[in-house]
């Protein structure tokens, strides 16, 4: 099972970032905010290794563009965050209101 954290660059405003917990690997691209990427030209999602236990989820489009949509981490991961705590408790991409 995975912890999935929405990714939105810091320059976006007036949105609350989302986190989904206990998500099966095959359901990572079905978390609610992924629907925001399914607009004209959307092709598919890719889930791939990012660093350590972490996965990166990107949305791909027919024009060749791609956008990072989320990061996922196993719920039981012992991966260490840059600040020294557990990455699952203190991801480098914090929950925040912009």
Note the pTM of the prediction, 2 decimals: 0.83
| Residue range of the domain that includes 56 | 2-73
Whether residue 97 is contained in a domain is answered as no
pLDDT tens, 8-28?
Answer: 766 666 666 688 999 999 999
- Average pLDDT (62-89) is 88
- Mean pLDDT value across the chain: 86
pLDDT tens, 36-56?
Answer: 999 999 999 999 999 888 999
* Cβ proximity of 21 and 60 under 8 Å: no
Whether residue 92 is contained in a domain is answered as no
| Neighbouring residues of 91: CB distance < 8 A, sequence distance ≥ 6 | 5, 71, 73, 81
SS3 content of the chain, % helix, strand, coil (to 5): 10, 40, 45
Parallel, antiparallel or unpaired: strands 19-23 and 2-6: antiparallel
pLDDT recorded at residue 1: 96
Number of structural domains, the chain?
A: 1
Whole-number Å distance between alpha carbons of 38 and 46: 13
Whether residue 82 is contained in a domain is answered as no
């Amino acid at each position: 099972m995975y912890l999935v954290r929405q990714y939105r660059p810091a320059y976006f405003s007036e949105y609350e970032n989302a986190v989904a917990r206990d998500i099966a690997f095959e359901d990572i691209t079905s978390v609610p905010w992924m629907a925001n990427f399914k607009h004209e030209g959307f092709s598919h999602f890719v889930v791939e290794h990012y660093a350590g236990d972490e996965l990166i989820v990107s949305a791909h489009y027919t024009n060749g563009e791609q956008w990072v949509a989320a990061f996922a981490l196993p719920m039981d991961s012992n991966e260490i965050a840059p600040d020294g705590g557990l990455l699952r408790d203190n991801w480098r991409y914090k929950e925040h209101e912009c």
